[in-house]
């Protein structure tokens, strides 16, 4: 299904951009998948034996690529290459010489041991943009430590502000540490590509997962500055803790996600008064205890009780519709199944159906950023080595005979 008013033919935003992709798991693959979604030719370099570790991670069928891998490697091409073999290293150098972008997120020190540090890669191709993601930044006391999504969220401040005030720190369900860092890095890559049009030179783009988490927590630092103490956990309240209502409220029939989030601006009383009208409590407008956002914070439990008495009689969808139409900010708590099967989400390709060689038809998230003059259809992640013949033929001019010999000798 294509986006309304768009044609599949035509030049895409990153048409002609070649990417050598040595990424794995999620943080790095999020960089290269984004580039692929924007039209770049992303060549995923994988170990001939098993491929990238994410292929087998969390798979429910032995020998079949995991859904995890599929969701992080759409629109890419896969080639196999043994980087422990001298011929494999030489082939990678030849690919690098033709590439615009090189991306990796191995554990600290691994890419240097393989012989493909930024210094070596830029020597081969001075125009290349070299993207690298690590858990912690250069000079950090934890620079050499391993990191995954939840490690970055803990060490980057996210968990310290997530959860109830009297409870333990909680890891958010979204993978900010991984995908969030990858998207930060991709912004840097695109900026470096643009700068190259003026300078003719490539550069290194590096993002530490811990550092990216700090950027996501910017408003928490407003709390730090305002109150002169660490930003506390505020549950469903905004981190500045200066407004009421700002919470989820139960709706019928009472399932695990039958809630609606209701918020009114702390800038003035307009949205608060609209809310009172909807729930039939306009009498509270004359009560001085509710006169300002600052005062309402002090009696948040009482306010929540009035709202809950109203929401319990509606489904979350009904509550969102009624409140939204009256200009009250609100959001039904939609779960993954509801979102994946919501018709407008499919129509806008926020979710798309792809055809995987082994799994068949699978619905996956698409690319949410829409460009008016660049449309790239979402395609399934590649089977390991599926593009050996095409890529090595196009990029390196290798024949079928050459490839057969390399495969026999376990180079690809």
d(CA 155, CA 133): 16
Q: How far, in Å, CA of 112 to CA of 118, rounded?
A: 8
Enclosing H/E stretch for 355: strand 351-356
- 157 closest CA partner among 242, 241, 220: 220
85 carries an active-site annotation: no
Distance CA 150, CA 249 (A): 28
| Structure-token pair, residue 409 | 């000798």
Neighbouring residues of 84: CB distance < 8 A, sequence distance ≥ 6: none
DSSP 242: -
DSSP code string of 72-92:
H-TT-EEEE--TTSHHHHHHH
> Which stretches of 177-217 are assigned E, i.e. beta strand?
204-208
Quote the Cα angle for 349-355-356, to 5°. 125
Cis peptide before 253 (omega within 30 of 0): yes
Distance CA 198, CA 128 (A): 14
Q: In what order do the strands lie in the sheet with 246-250?
A: 246-250, 259-263, 330-332
- Residue 245: asked if its preceding bond is cis (omega within 30°), the reply is yes
Residue closest to 260 by CA, chosen among 338, 340, 326, 315? 315
Burial letters for 292-324: b for 16+ Cβ neighbours within 10 Å, e otherwise? ebeebbeebeebbebbbebbeebbbeebbebbe
**Active-site hit among 149, 178, 211, 387:** 178
Q: Give the residue numbers annotated as catalytic, written as ranges.
A: 178
């Amino acid at each position: 299904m294509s986006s309304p008013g768009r044609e599949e033919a035509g030049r895409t935003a990153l048409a002609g951009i070649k990417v050598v992709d040595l990424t794995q798991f999620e943080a790095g693959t999020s960089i290269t998948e984004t580039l692929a979604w924007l039209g770049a030719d992303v060549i995923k370099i994988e170990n001939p034996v098993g491929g990238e570790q994410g292929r087998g991670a969390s798979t429910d069928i032995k020998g079949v690529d995991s859904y995890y891998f599929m969701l992080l490697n759409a629109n890419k091409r896969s080639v196999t290459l043994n980087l422990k073999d001298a011929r494999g290293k030489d082939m990678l150098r030849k690919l690098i010489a033709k590439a615009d972008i090189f991306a990796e997120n191995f554990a600290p020190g691994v890419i240097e041991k393989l012989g493909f540090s930024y210094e070596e890669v830029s020597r081969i191709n001075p125009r290349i943009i070299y993207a690298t993601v690590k858990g912690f930044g250069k000079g950090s006391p934890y620079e050499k430590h391993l990191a995954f999504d939840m490690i970055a969220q803990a060490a980057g401040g996210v968990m310290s502000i997530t959860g109830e005030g009297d409870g333990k720190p909680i890891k958010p369900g979204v993978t900010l540490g991984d995908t969030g860092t990858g998207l930060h890095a991709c912004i840097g890559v695109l900026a470096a590509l643009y700068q190259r049009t003026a300078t003719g030179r490539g550069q290194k783009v590096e993002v530490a997962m811990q550092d990216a988490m700090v950027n996501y927590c910017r408003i928490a630092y407003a709390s730090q500055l305002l109150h002169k103490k660490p930003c506390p956990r505020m549950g469903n309240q905004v981190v500045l803790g200066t407004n009421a209502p700002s919470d989820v409220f139960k709706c019928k029939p009472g399932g695990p996600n039958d809630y609606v989030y209701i918020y009114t601006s702390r800038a003035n009383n307009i949205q608060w008064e609209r809310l009172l009208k909807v729930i039939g409590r306009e009498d509270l407008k004359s009560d001085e205890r509710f006169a300002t956002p600052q005062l309402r914070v002090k009696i948040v439990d009482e306010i929540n009780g009035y709202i809950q008495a109203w929401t319990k009689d509606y489904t979350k969808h009904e509550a969102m519709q009624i409140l939204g139409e009256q200009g009250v900010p609100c959001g039904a708590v939609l779960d993954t199944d509801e979102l994946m099967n919501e018709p407008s989400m499919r129509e806008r390709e926020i979710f798309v159906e792809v055809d995987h060689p082994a799994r068949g038809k699978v619905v996956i998230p698409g690319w949410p950023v829409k460009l008016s003059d660049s449309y790239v259809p979402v395609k399934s992640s590649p089977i390991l080595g599926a593009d050996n013949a095409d890529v090595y033929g196009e990029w390196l001019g290798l024949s079928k005979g050459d490839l057969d010999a390399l495969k026999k000798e376990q180079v690809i």
